Amino acid sequence: MAYHGGALCIDHVGPDAPELASIRRRFAVFDDLLARTLRALGVAAAVGEVPGEYCPGEFSVNDGRGHKLVGTAQRLVPRTWLFSAVILISHPDPLRAVLEAVYADWNWTGIPATVGAVDRSVPGLTWNHVHTALLAAYAARGELVPAVMPDSAIALARSRADRHRVPQS
């Protein structure tokens, strides 16, 4: 998934645990949490596949009008999982343009116009509104413990950032 500063990215990492023991269960739990959080902000968020969407799946969070708002994915290693979510809060057009180019190059039939944004559903919603609402939703599930990313990890990420940028044309 391509994304930019108008996206909010969330990664969950955890050990196999009974309440989140399966891939489907993690999708169901986290996508429901994300959809409920967006609904609390006034977005008509639903969980379900959008016809023609990028990275299709039954657990996509959409606006009920044919636009995907949240994409989620999982990666598994023995005894541990990673669940990632990208919430597009604003500016869907650059991502639609990326998909148009990819679809044309790969001869795929997806529909780039299915990329939506939270602020298109509820004008005036910002990254900060969504971030604050998500923190509250997670706090309702259990204690949040702030952590500081080590300077070495930040330096490593910055040193690799250029590998992930799309060249300007």
Nearby residues of 100 by Cβ (< 8 Å), 6 or more positions away: 112
Q: Which domain holds residue 153?
A: 7-164
Give the number of residues written for the chain.
Answer: 169
pTM, entire model: 0.85
| Number of domains forming the structure of the chain | 1
Residues 33-86 pLDDT 10s: 999 999 999 999 999 999 999 989 999 999 999 999 999 999 988 888 899 999
Please write the tens of the pLDDT for every residue from 15-30: 877 777 788 989 999 9
CATH number for 74: 3.30.930.10
DSSP E strands, the chain: 7-15, 46-47, 61-62, 68-77, 80-88
Rounded CA gap, 22 and 158, in Å? 34
Non-local CB neighbours of 123 within 8 Å, separated by 6+ positions: none
